Structure 1
Amino acid sequence: MATVLVVEDEFGIVELFDAVLSDEGHRVRTAMNGQQGMRMLAEERPDVMFLDYMMPVMDGAATLRAMAADPGLRSVAVVMMSSMPEATVAERCSGYAAFLAKPFDVTRIIALVEQLSLGDAIQT
Structure 2
Amino acid sequence: MLKTILIVDDELGNAEVLSLILEDEGYRVFCAANGRDGLDKVREVGPDLVVLDFMMPVMNGAEMGHALRASPQTAHIKILMNSSLPEASVAQRFPLYDAFLRKPYSIDDALDTIRTLIA
TM range (shorter): over 0.9
Instruction: Show CA shifts across 1:93-119 (max 9, x none).
Output: 12100001100100111112211112x
User: CA separation in 2, counterparts of 1:47 and 1:69?
Assistant: 17
User: What displacement does 1:59 show?
Assistant: 0.1
8 Å contact kept, 1:34–1:57: yes
Counterpart of 2:43 in structure 1: which amino acid? A
Name the SS of the counterpart of 1:95 in structure 2: coil
Name the SS of the counterpart of 1:29 in structure 2: strand
Establish whether residue 38 from structure 1 lines up as the match of residue 39 from structure 2: yes
**Alignment match, 2:61:** 60
8 Å contact kept, 2:7–2:52: yes
**Alignment match, 2:104:** 103
User: CA separation in 1, counterparts of 2:54 and 2:98?
Assistant: 14
User: CA separation in 2, counterparts of 1:35 and 1:87?
Assistant: 24
User: What displacement does 1:65 show?
Assistant: 1.2
Report the TM-score, using the length of structure 1 for normalisation.
0.91
User: What displacement does 1:19 show?
Assistant: 1.3
User: CA separation in 1, counterparts of 2:51 and 2:92?
Assistant: 19
Name the SS of the counterpart of 2:74 in structure 1: coil
- Which segments of 5 or more consecutive residues in structure 2 lack a partner in the other structure? none
User: CA separation in 2, counterparts of 1:80 and 1:108?
Assistant: 13
8 Å contact kept, 1:64–1:94: no
In the comparison of the two structures, how many residue pairs are matched?
Answer: 118
**Alignment match, 1:78:** 79
Counterpart of 1:64 in structure 2: which amino acid? G
User: CA separation in 1, counterparts of 2:80 and 2:73?
Assistant: 18
The list of structure 1 runs, each at least 4 consecutive aligned residues, that deviate by more than 2 angstroms after superposition, is none
- Which segments of 5 or more consecutive residues in structure 1 lack a partner in the other structure? 119-124
Name the SS of the counterpart of 2:57 in structure 1: coil
**Alignment match, 1:94:** 95
8 Å contact kept, 1:53–1:82: yes
